[in-house]
């Protein structure tokens, strides 16, 4: 089973790019973030024509997450436990049938949290606590689990080209990284780092200051696996070439392969 995550940064603005990549990569499951449209406005037909079932948790102009799956998803849940009707659309999960059983997949768009020291950062930390609590409950199910998405977390010094430039940023503050480690310590595996421990492994390049051209990147998009999921992990890659396409997102797809 090939599972991908991608912060598309407006699905309607980049529908041609998204469709072109899906045709090229042919993943079984795609987790999208920052779709920036209401559920009813999501261009589902473009992906249904490619053989995907589409699950969307959207909102007008901001945030929004989706799961595309070749197999028909089950047990679809929109919103992180603790969200109310006014909460931003940042979480969706579903059970995806595979050849050897179900895989539970979530698409996550964790709050940015900037500027640090404001209510936005407090909200980020609270959201991370709720995500960790929910992950703990999902782990107790002892099933293959993939928590995929834009975490807005730079986990280590290795995950930024110039970490010294991010010391006061909400993505890299010690408390942010500590909360991320707490989540990993539930027994989750960072799929990319498990198979790609080298330097210069990035998933995001800012639009400003020639970041892409200078490879001034960050790794902030992650796929975290339960032990049952990690046992099936075979491959991981980052389709960084997509960042060089016309009208790209500032993020690129991250893809893992899991044995059936």
Whole-angstrom distance, CA of residue 220 vs CA of residue 227: 22
Q: Which residues contact 244 (CB under 8 A, 6 or more apart)?
A: 212
Out of 150, 159, 169, 221, the active site residue is 150
**CB contact burial 178-199 (16+ within 10 A = b; e otherwise):** ebbeebbebebbbbbbeeeeee
C-alpha distances (whole Å) from 189 to each of 76, 142, 204 are: 23, 14, 21
3-state secondary structure of 203: coil
Whole-angstrom distance, CA of residue 97 vs CA of residue 74: 8
Residue 28 falls in the annotated catalytic set? no
Please give the angle made by the CA atoms of 204, 207 and 208, to the nearest 5 degrees.
Answer: 120
Residue 109 falls in the annotated catalytic set? yes
Contact in structure between 136 and 186 (CB atoms under 8 Å): yes
Q: Which residues contact 187 (CB under 8 A, 6 or more apart)?
A: 139, 226, 227
Out of 109, 121, 151, 202, the active site residue is 109
C-alpha distances (whole Å) from 184 to each of 60, 187, 224 are: 32, 6, 8
Q: Which residues contact 81 (CB under 8 A, 6 or more apart)?
A: 130, 133, 134
What residues are annotated to the active site?
109, 150
């Amino acid at each position: 089973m090939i599972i991908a995550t991608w912060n598309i940064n407006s699905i309607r603005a980049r529908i041609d790019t998204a469709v072109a990549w899906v045709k090229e990569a042919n993943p079984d499951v795609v987790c999208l973030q920052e779709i920036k449209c209401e559920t009813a406005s999501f261009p589902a037909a473009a992906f249904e024509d490619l053989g995907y079932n589409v699950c969307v948790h959207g909102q007008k102009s901001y945030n929004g997450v989706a799961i595309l799956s070749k197999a028909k998803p089950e047990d679809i849940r929109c919103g992180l436990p603790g969200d109310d009707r006014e909460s931003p659309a940042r979480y969706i999960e579903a059970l995806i049938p595979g050849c050897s059983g179900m895989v539970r997949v979530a698409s996550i768009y964790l709050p940015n949290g900037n500027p640090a020291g404001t209510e936005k950062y407090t909200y980020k930390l609270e959201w991370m606590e709720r995500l960790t609590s929910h992950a703990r409950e999902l782990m107790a199910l002892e099933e293959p689990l993939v928590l995929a998405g834009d975490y807005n977390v730079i986990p280590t010094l290795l995950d930024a080209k110039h970490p010294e430039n991010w010391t006061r940023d909400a993505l890299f503050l010690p408390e942010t990284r500590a909360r991320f480690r707490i989540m990993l310590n539930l027994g989750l595996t960072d799929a990319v780092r498990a198979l790609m421990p080298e330097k210069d492994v990035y998933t995001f390049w800012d639009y400003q200051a020639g970041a892409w051209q200078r490879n001034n990147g960050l790794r902030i998009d992650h796929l975290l696996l339960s032990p049952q999921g990690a046992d099936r992990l075979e491959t991981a890659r980052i389709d960084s070439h997509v960042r060089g396409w016309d009208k790209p997102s500032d993020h690129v797809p991250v893809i893992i392969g899991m044995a059936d």
